[in-house]
Amino acid sequence: MEILGETELCFPLLLNASCMKPKHSHFEAMLTYIMLLSLSLLTAFLNLMVIISISHFRQLHTPTNLLLLSLAVSDFFISFLILFQIMLIDGCWFLGDVMCILYQYLAYVITAVSVETMVLISVDRYVAICDPLRYSTKITQKTVKICVCLCWICSVISPGLNLKEVLIQPGRYNSCFGECVLVLNFISGVIEIVVFFFVPITIIVVLYIRVFVVAVSQARAMRSHIAAVSLHSTQVTAQRSELKAARTLGVVVVMFLMCLCPYYCVALTNQDNLMSATSTAFAICLYYFNSCINPVIYALFYPWFRKSMKLIITLKILQPDSCETNMM
């Protein structure tokens, strides 16, 4: 297996100023490129299907689906960030310091929107399950639109606090040409981890545990209420309801933790708070992978999404009045 030399430079003409490419095999590099490109295309395709479905069909213009739309938009743009990550896997950044800062800024904004929207979705599901009688008055389209706008505005503003120094002087922390790094001070690192990891994780876990408890109690109440009519059938139905609630909770929480924990573990254990793209590539890619599974978790489980995908792929949405199609 051919190995690239340790002294191979990102910019061979700049002998004394260029960064060196890391030592790795051509097979490993090619495999990584293929995996990231496939992840980018799949992420873009799935989220684009969600965006078109919710935007086109009027029947899907509900508060919950507006949250899914916001999530899909942010996750769709993450597919482009993955393309930039392909370049960083090779250990060299060829687009200059300004594009490096723009990439880091957009990564902050888009991933923050994705995480915050997941929190809003958990709140929406909590109210729908735990307080269904007042759901229509509490969760309206106007309320959801305001929350989504605030989510995007806060996500656009907040990265400026961490990146203000490099925004003023791009590349100030780069030690050589071909490097794209981000240096966070201790306070900024703690704020990022608390705001974008621990707080969302806590909210989502607490709300979904509450949803799970309520779902189980409702299933047991239903089983007790009609036990005299059909004991066996009711037991089977109740057990299926409990398993379905547990499975949904497990998929949401476990996948969220699996995709986000490695990234923040790397950030926490890094001694110098220096987040080099080459040293954290796997953790960042796994972080981005969450954007690929979001439409699977929140959309593919809905029958309307499968129906809308069929209409989109067969180009039936181009027919007159297709937006009025019954999707339920």
Instruction: Write the CB contacts of 312 (distance below 8 Å, at least 6 apart in sequence).
Output: 49, 52, 53
CATH topology of domain 26-324: Rhopdopsin 7-helix transmembrane proteins (1.20.1070)
Beta bridge partners of residue 274, listed in sequence order: 183
Whether 4 contacts 24, CB under 8 Å: yes
Query: What pLDDT is stored for residue 146 in this prediction?
Result: 94
Q: Using CA atoms, how far apart are residues 17 and 10, in angstroms rounded to an integer? A: 10
pLDDT digits (tens, 9 = 90+) for 20-38: 776 666 777 777 788 888 8
Report the percent of the chain where pLDDT is more than 90.
9
* Angle value at C-alpha 314, between 310 and 318, nearest 5 degrees: 110
Q: Dig out the tokens for 320 from the structure.
A: 């007159």
Confidence of residue 197 (pLDDT cuts 50, 70, 90): confident
Q: How far is CA 78 from the centre of its chain?
A: 8
Most confident of 57-66, 144-153, 229-238, 270-279: 144-153
Q: Say if residues 159 and 105 touch (Cβ distance below 8 Å).
A: yes
- Rounded (10°) angle between helices 96-130 and 281-298: 40
The two three-digit tokens of residue 179, written as one number: 């490097």
Record the tokens describing residue 101, joined without a space.
Answer: 């800062």
Helix boundaries (H) for the chain? 26-56, 63-89, 96-130, 135-138, 141-157, 159-168, 186-193, 199-225, 231-269, 281-298, 303-313
Q: How far is CA 156 from the centre of its chain?
A: 16
Q: For residues 215 and 220, give the distance between their C-alpha atoms in angstroms, rounded to a whole number.
A: 9
33-36: long-range contacts at Cβ-Cβ below 8 A with a sequence spacing of 24 or more?
A: 33/86, 33/89, 36/82, 36/83, 36/85, 36/86, 36/89, 36/285
CB 103 within 8 A of CB 60: no
Q: How many CB atoms are closer than 10 A to CB 63?
A: 22
Spatial separation of the C-alpha atoms in residues 193 and 33, rounded to whole Å: 29
pLDDT digits (tens, 9 = 90+) for 296-315: 876 667 778 888 888 898 88
Least confident of 4-18, 107-121, 174-188, 304-318: 4-18
Let me know if 52 is exposed, middle or buried by CB neighbors in 10 A (0-12, 13-18, 19+).
Answer: middle
pTM equals 0.80
CA distance 286 to 307: 29
Q: How confident is the model at residue 231 (pLDDT cuts 50, 70, 90)?
A: very low
User: Where are the chain's structural domains?
Assistant: 26-324
Q: Pull the structure tokens for residue 31.
A: 């495999």
**Is the pLDDT at 62 greater than 80, yes or no?**
yes
Rounded to whole angstroms, how far apart are CA atoms 73 and 77? 7
Give the number of C-alpha atoms closer than 13 A to the C-alpha of residue 22, restricted to the C-beta side.
17
Contact between 323 and 59 under an 8 Å Cβ cutoff? The reply is no
pLDDT number for residue 274: 45
